[in-house]
Amino acid sequence: HGLAAFLRTQYSIQDLVVEAILQKSKDLALQALLADPVIETTWQAKKILEEMLILQQDYIQIELK
């Protein structure tokens, strides 16, 4: 049961990531990070998201604003 719950959580996170990219939504990308149990704070999620969007700007077309 534990593994299934873990996989459901990871699937939900990846689904949010895909939706964020398709919709070019920074808010959905942030929600995906916040849903991840390894992310401890909103501040941490925002910092990771900003860095990721800068590093992947050639591939992920989500505005940094």
pLDDT given at position 63: 84
Place of tokens 């990871």: 10
Segment 6-58, tens digit of pLDDT? 999 999 999 999 999 999 999 999 999 999 999 999 999 999 999 999 999 99
